[in-house]
């Protein structure tokens, strides 16, 4: 709402007043609070109100340019463009207020962006952004390869640089974005799963602290964060379903990764195990965590990493198994049994069917080939 600052004397008479300020509040879904944007210097209230309407549209469309940036453009048209270091504050603020699939960008993603800017982009590109050339970017990319950086790391660094430059162009900070290639992401490791025999040995070798969780993850394909905050009220014993409603991220319960609830069927073995475990819990404990520490709270990933490593070693498994392997094992076993990729997508909560097909389709194809091979025996002479 437009306003102006005023100063009064002891009698209440106005002895000084400022020009009008254009001021708008915009709700930030990430922090669940409103953020204030304001600009001063308007001589009339009508001008300030008109600017407020423009500010709302610019913010909603992601093209709002802070006053200090606009001043550099108008008052110092011939001055060098901002550097990444000078632009990063506005960039991070923009990303914090942005949403993906109607959900705010996670705290972890924002921290990763800050880390890439601080540790990689600022040292490599201290010059104004309009002076960053394709040759410099490609030379930097080649140096990252020579340093032995993983392809995924290089992709993340150059991808972040491209996003920053594109936003700077959109806001009018620079006139153009260099056309440089960003390596494609490394293909998923399609062999990152346990065989049924290895999975059974892992459950058998697990300590009591994680045994139930290991069996649960192998039986429903949930993400670690989703399983660790599962409550008894999420299990429907009559219909045999696990309702996945939330996940744990950096110690805070949030929406699932896809932002949607899902319902995963459970087999009789895991239901029997859970039923026996439920019998040891207090009555009317629907809100209690299924897997919890001694105080009834949630475990952290780091607390359970050691017990999992010991179980893997005791089971004689020579693979770098993590909790995510158990989820991949679940989906892989379903694919090898010929379960539809669409069902696997629904059970695992993949936002895109292509994710499911890219990682697991080859396993289903192998199963199909084995089944079709049987027909060849029909035509062989005995």
Burial of 361 (0-12, 13-18, 19+ CB in 10 A): middle
Domain at 196-373, CATH homologous superfamily: Intergrase catalytic core (1.10.443.10)
pLDDT at 237: 92
The arrangement of strands across the sheet holding 262-265 comes to: 235-236, 241-244, 262-265
Beta strands in 54-163 (DSSP E): 99-100, 103-104
Q: Is the pLDDT assigned to residue 381 strictly greater than 70?
A: no
Nearest in space to 183 (alpha carbons), one of 230, 149, 147: 149
* DSSP bridge partners of 39: 22
CATH 1.10.150.130 fits 83-186, yes or no: yes
Q: Are 245 and 256 in contact (CB under 8 A)?
A: yes
User: 323: pLDDT confidence band, cut at 50, 70 and 90?
Assistant: very high
Q: What values do phi and psi take at 19, rounded to 5?
A: -70, 175
Tell me the per-residue pLDDT of 196-209, one tens digit each, with 9 for 90 and over: 999 999 999 999 99
Per-domain boundaries in the chain:
1-64, 83-186, 196-373
Q: Tell me how far apart the alpha carbons of residues 143 and 149 are, in angstroms, rounded to a whole number.
A: 9
Q: Which range among 146-150, 247-251, 313-317 has the greatest average pLDDT?
A: 313-317
Q: pTM of the predicted model, to two decimals? A: 0.54
Tell me the per-residue pLDDT of 252-309, one tens digit each, with 9 for 90 and over: 787 776 667 889 999 999 999 999 988 887 665 666 889 988 888 888 888 999 999 9
How far, rounded to the nearest angstrom, does the alpha carbon of residue 165 sit from its chain's CA centroid? 22
Nearest in space to 292 (alpha carbons), one of 273, 272, 306, 277: 277
The interaxial angle of helices 353-378 and 323-336, nearest 10 deg, is 40
Torsion of CA 167, 352, 250, 209, to 10 degrees: -160
Average pLDDT over residues 1-13: 81
Tell me the per-residue pLDDT of 326-370, one tens digit each, with 9 for 90 and over: 999 998 888 888 888 888 888 888 877 777 777 776 665 555 555
* DSSP bridge partners of 6: 17
Burial of 356 (0-12, 13-18, 19+ CB in 10 A): buried
pLDDT at 267: 92
């Amino acid at each position: 709402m437009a306003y102006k600052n005023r100063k009064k004397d002891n009698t209440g008479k106005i002895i000084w007043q400022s020009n009008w300020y254009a001021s708008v509040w915009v709700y930030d879904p990430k922090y669940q609070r409103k953020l204030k944007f304001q600009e001063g210097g308007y001589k009339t209230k009508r001008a300030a109100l008109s600017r407020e309407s423009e500010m709302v549209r610019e913010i909603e469309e992601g093209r709002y340019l802070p006053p200090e940036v606009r001043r550099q453009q108008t008052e110092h048209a011939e001055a060098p463009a901002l550097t990444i270091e000078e632009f990063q504050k506005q960039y991070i603020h923009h990303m914090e207020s942005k949403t993906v699939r109607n959900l705010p960008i996670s705290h972890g993603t924002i921290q990763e962006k800050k880390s890439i800017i601080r540790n990689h982009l600022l040292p490599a590109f201290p010059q104004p952004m309009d002076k960053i050339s394709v040759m410099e970017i490609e030379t930097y990319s080649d140096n990252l390869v020579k340093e032995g950086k993983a392809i995924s790391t290089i992709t993340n660094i150059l991808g972040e640089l491209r996003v920053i430059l594109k936003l700077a162009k959109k806001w009018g900070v620079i006139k153009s974005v260099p056309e440089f290639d960003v390596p494609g992401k490394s293909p998923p490791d399609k062999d990152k799963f346990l065989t049924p025999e290895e999975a059974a040995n892992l459950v058998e070798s697990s300590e009591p602290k994680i045994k139930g969780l290991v069996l649960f993850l192998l039986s429903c394909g949930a993400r670690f964060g989703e399983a660790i905050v599962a409550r008894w009220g999420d299990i429907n014993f009559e219909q045999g379903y696990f309702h996945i409603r939330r996940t744990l991220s950096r110690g805070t319960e949030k929406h699932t990764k896809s932002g949607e609830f899902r319902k995963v069927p459970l087999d009789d073995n895991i239901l029997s195990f859970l039923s026996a475990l439920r019998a040891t819990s207090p009555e009317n404990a629907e809100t209690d965590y299924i897997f919890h520490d001694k105080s009834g709270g949630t475990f952290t990933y780091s607390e359970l990493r050691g017990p999992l490593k010991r179980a893997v070693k005791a089971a004689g498994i020579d693979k770098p198994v993590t909790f995510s392997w158990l989820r991949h094992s679940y989906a892989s076993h379903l694919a090898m049994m010929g379960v539809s990729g669409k069902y696997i997508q629904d059970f695992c909560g993949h936002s895109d069917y292509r994710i499911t097909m890219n990682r697991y389709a080859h396993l289903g194809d192998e199963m199909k080939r084995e089944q079709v091979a049987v027909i060849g025996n029909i035509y062989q002479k005995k």
